[in-house]
Structure 1
């Protein structure tokens, strides 16, 4: 599977975040809290949902499944003018990304093993210290083998 290399334009996000690790995965709880609130958000630019990871510096260089990162459940908005109480904002800065069109269950982590242990070392890129995210569009179905999503990995040239 080969990605498309894209330049992301900055995005304004509204959502909720939680600190977690791969061992202490709270993704279900996060989306359970955020999902019912999506309809409160005005100025959405699309129906897409964004699942984003903000990792500490050197997260991948010193990888451990117990290292905490911040996970976001969010949507993109055109402005922060109207913000529902209790929701947070995040400015996702632009930059270079490797975008993988993934089809399969979100519970299957082998795509990330492929990206970080196979594709990335053989590419002309290294992972960059910016948020990673998945765009969950209309064809996304949680834990379904026929689900489709875009996986965005921040990269920079070697």
Structure 2
């Protein structure tokens, strides 16, 4: 499941956001609102989509599934200028990430996260960094299909 450690430069993204919690999951509504507008976004880079979460500080150390966070549906762009109405800019900050491959449908995604946070992270020599978490939904992503694959990017820094 663990794939690699990668340090990236800042990326320009554009899309839609919603405030939600795990208990009040609005992911389907968010993507339903974003996908019809995606083709109107100029200067898209590639076809990959980003499912991105901005968590409040201490979200994971004081975990409560009712705590709200911001969820984004995004695509990478060459410019944040002249975005269509209803599409917002997002600058993904540079940083180091642990990248994992999740294989399977949406219902098995919590198992992937459990492995990352309870098995891999404690023995990795890294700790969570307070930056966005995201998944890249590329060519192998098939919504809710058991053969689907996506990259899970977890922000990290050395202990």
TM-score > 0.5, shorter chain as reference:
yes
Structure 2 residues without counterparts, runs of 5 or longer: none
Query: After the TM superposition, which residues 141-152 of structure 1 pair with which residues of structure 2 at under 5 Å, given as runs?
Result: 141-152=142-153
How does the TM-score come out when normalised to structure 2? 0.97
Q: Report the RMSD for the aligned CA atoms in angstroms.
A: 0.8
Structure 1 residues without counterparts, runs of 5 or longer: none
Partner of 1:156: 157
- Per-residue deviation, residues 60-103 of structure 1 (Å, max 9, x unmatched): 11111111000000000010122001111111011000001221
Partner of 1:55: 55
Shift of 1:28: 0.2
How does the TM-score come out when normalised to structure 1? 0.97
Shift of 1:2: 2.4
CA distance in 1: counterparts of 2:3 and 2:126, whole angstroms: 12
* 2:96 corresponds to 1:100: no
- Per-residue deviation, residues 95-121 of structure 1 (Å, max 9, x unmatched): 000001221112211000110111111
- Per-residue deviation, residues 26-73 of structure 1 (Å, max 9, x unmatched): 000000000111000010111000000000011111111111000000
Shift of 1:128: 0.6
* SS state at 2:29 partner: helix
Partner of 2:115: 114
How many pairs align? 158
Which runs of 4 or more aligned residues in structure 1 lie more than 2 Å from their structure 2 counterparts after TM superposition?
Answer: none
Mean Cα displacement is larger for which, 118-127 or 102-111?
A: 102-111
- Per-residue deviation, residues 115-149 of structure 1 (Å, max 9, x unmatched): 01111111101111000000000111111110011
